[in-house]
Structures are given as C-alpha cells and as structure tokens.
Structure 1
C-alpha cells in the first residue's frame, strides 16, 4: 500500500501487459500513486508504451519504492521515465530502497529504458532489480547511474541486478559506491575515477544458437555473453551523456 510512514514514504507501481488478441498489447493493470505515477503514452506497432512519472521528489532517506511489471505471452511493453530519478537526503533516518521486479513470459518482449539514476550528495539508496524471463522471452534493459550532480560528491549508492532465465540465474552482480562503500570503489579496479556507470542487458532466444562474441567497446566498455541466451554490456563514462552514447551504440551493434 502507498502512504507515509514514520520512516518515509512507501509507494508501489504495477504494470501488466497482455496480448489483446487483435495484434496489439493491452494494459489490464496500470496502477501507481504518490511518487510513482504511471501513464500510458502513444506507441506504434504492437507494443504498449508506459512512462514512469515522478510526481514527488526522491527517493529520500527512509523511502521504499517498488515497481512491478509483468509481460504476458505475446505482449510487447516499452517502459521509460519522464525524467531522471534523483536520490536525495531526507528528514527520515535510514537508507532508501528502490526495488524493480520484472517478469516476461515466453513470446513476450520488454524494453525497460528509464532515464538515469542520480546519486546526490548526502543520499543513501539501495537499488535492487530482479528480472525473471521464461526461455523464449525477449528483453532490453538499460540501467544508468550518475554519481553526484555537477560539481558535487555522490551519495552512497548500492545496486544489485539479478537476471534469471527459465529459472536459472545467469547474472547476479552488485556494486557499492560513495561514502561508506568498501574501499577502492573509485580506484582503477572499479570505476577508475569515472562518474557514470551503466549496463545494458539484451536477451533473445536466437542468442542460444548464435551468441554474440565477447569484445571490448572502446576504452571503458565491454560486451560479455551470459550463460543463457543473453548478453551484458557494461560501461563507464565521465558523465551521463557520454554513458548514454556508449550504450546506444552497443544496442545498435546488437541489431
């Protein structure tokens, strides 16, 4: 349930996409409230397109946000956001949480392409993304994180991304940055002084027979095949604009 608690705001958004039987995609569930408003927008072809709209600031300290999206068999869903998400310090004590849960059935397709997450000075946010795909599902997922606004140090940011295909975990990675994170997070073995970090996950059934080859993508990005029919692109950049350019080029390369 959405609402205000003694330790921050709790908010949930839910999206369910299903084949409408007429060559398009219906949205029988499209619900959000408070800081997690959801809006259907015009889309071409057979896909439904949804925007996450930040109706309030945050997440702030103590807030707990959750977004759940389910794509049923034969449906196609594209999800973006109207603006960047900015993690900010708040009056409530404790870290903030932002959880994303995505499920895609066989024959379904999800493009999850939100704007970046910006970790502002003094914030403390934990982001958890769990993606569960059936064997013949299709996915494009982009995550971008920018450490601090212009001219400021970042807050504390912990993020974890888990991908399961047909019940098998093929990716489970975690990164912690900012004050209080394990030492060396900004050193040459991790971010190497870069202020923007991102990843692109692409899953397609055809990758099972013909997976893309591992390769570097410039000086600070790489494409890595995963154990399932999916690939991971990881990238570092000096800022969010350069990071987006790298990830867009990687998606074009994958076709």
Structure 2
C-alpha cells in the first residue's frame, strides 16, 4: 500500500510558525535556531519513506520579512516498495519580500531497486534570499543505485532563474555514468545561493578542487555543482562553498 501525505510549514516575520503540520511520514518540528532572528524547522522521518508508489510533498511559505532554516534529522532513504510504480517527492517553496530561506536537508540516498521522482519548485520575491542544498548518494555502500530523476525549477519575481533536470540509474538516459557526467562517482550535489547583493558584487566562475565548479547565474545567483566518490567528500566541497557564499 502506498502513502499520500503533505507536510506544511509557514514562517512569519515575528518568528512564529502559523502553520506546522503533517499527515504522514514527514513530521516537521520546531527546533532551536543557532542565529538570532531566525526560525528553524527540522523534518523528522516518522517511518520509512519514500517507498515505491508513495506520493509525498512538503509545502513551505516564508512570509514577508521572515527568516527560516529548514533541515532534516537524518538522510532520506528511497527504497523499493510493494507497489511497482515510481515514488514522488515534491517540494514547493515560496519566499516573500525581504524574506530568507535556508533549505539544508541531509543526503538523499537512492537505494538499489528504488525508483524516485523528485520535483523542487521555488518562487522567490525579487528581494528574497535563498540557500538551497541538494546531496544525492547513488546506492548504499557496495550496491548499485536505484533510479532517480530530479528536477529543480526556480523563479525570481515571476521570471525563470534556473530549470534543470538530473537523471541517474536504470532507466536514465545513456551516458549518466560516463566520463562527461559522473565518471563513476557515486555522490553528487549542488548548492544554489540567490542573493540581491550579487547584483552589485557578482561571483566569479571557477573550479572548486578537482570535482566541483562555481557558476554565476543571471538572477542574481550562484550555483555550485560537484561530484565525489562518497558522501563525505561531497559534503566537504559543499560545506566550503556554503561558508564562502552565504552567512549560514
């Protein structure tokens, strides 16, 4: 039997959470914020999910002037289920005027035999700031990956800022593990930082070590992409970039 569930979060400028609810395995909990003026929510997995056929979503609204950090208590593990259909995991994020969202979950692990479709849809006000981090680990230790399709769409002031799709594992287009894409690596991730301050001081494109790259986007924004042999090496690349690009 598959699950259909949506978690909802809304943050206000006074630090309150007018909406904090879930009807399924993803349970958002208010936790202590490390920085003054910020509200923090940690998503806790109440059961194994997503499994094959599951339809899960998180809807997040950061209202005008609010500052919200969302993280997770543990990695998300995509597993095969009894239902022979892909699982779907949707993130719908809205960030208002002079508001900020730091979306910093733990890794997504694509276990052997799983089939997951991830869709992240972000709408930003022209004055909003965003830090969004994604880390994907293709297979647990010593096993091949499952199938993972991931699409990220970001709009700023109603205009497209970034729209990209990634696909890995069985059923993905040929070449996903070739020298031009992963080259045999099993961890991949990205860090997107959108900040109006980049209009005055844009970042410069450059490599980040052997397996990462920093690319400025029109928007204003900066995108870090990286591959690595394992999750630890990937986290080190993205941690260093996060320290440089954002005050987190």
Instruction: Compute the TM-score of the two structures, normalised by the length of structure 2.
Output: 0.97
Shift of 1:64: 0.4
1:39 Cα deviation from its structure 2 partner: 0.4
User: 2:142 aligns to what?
Assistant: 151
4+ residue runs of structure 1 moved beyond 4 angstroms? none
Matches within 5 A, 1:54-203: 54-203=45-194
What is the aligned counterpart of 2:11 among 11, 14, 17? 17
2:242 paired residue number: 251
Match of 1:250, SS state, is helix
Alpha-carbon deviation of 1:34? 2.1
Q: Which residue of 1 aligns with 2:31?
A: 41
Kindly state the Cα deviation for residue 170 of structure 1 after the two structures are TM-superposed. Answer: 1.4
Q: Aligned residues, how many? A: 245
What residue number does 1:27 align with? 17
- The alpha carbon displacement at 1:163 in A equals 1.1
CA contact (8 A) 2:7 2:24 kept: no
SS in 2 for 1:228: coil
Cα separation, 2, equivalents of 1:40 and 1:167: 30
**1:240 counterpart residue number:** 231
- What CA distance in whole angstroms lies between the structure 1 residues aligned with 2:133 and 2:176? 22
Instruction: Flag structure 2 segments of 5+ consecutive residues without an equivalent.
Output: none
For residues 116 and 51 of structure 2, what CA distance do their matches in structure 1 show? 8
Task: Give 1:130 deviation, angstroms.
Answer: 0.9
Displacement of 1:92: 1.1
Partner of 1:3: none
Residue 19 of structure 1, CA deviation: 1.0
Question: Distance between the aligned counterparts of 2:45 and 2:28, measured in 1?
Answer: 9
Q: Residue 33 of structure 1: CA displacement?
A: 2.5
Q: Measure, in 2, the Cα distance between the counterparts of 1:95 and 1:251.
A: 32
How far 1:125 moved relative to its partner?
0.2
Secondary structure of the 2:240 match is: helix
Structure 1 gap ranges (5+): 1-5
Deviation at 1:16, TM superposition (A): 0.4
Superposed CA deviations along residues 101-158 of structure 1, whole A, max 9, x for unmatched, are 1111111010000000000000000001111111010111100000000010100000
Deviations 1:14-73 (A, max 9, x none): 0000112xxxx1100001122111100111411110011110102000000000111011
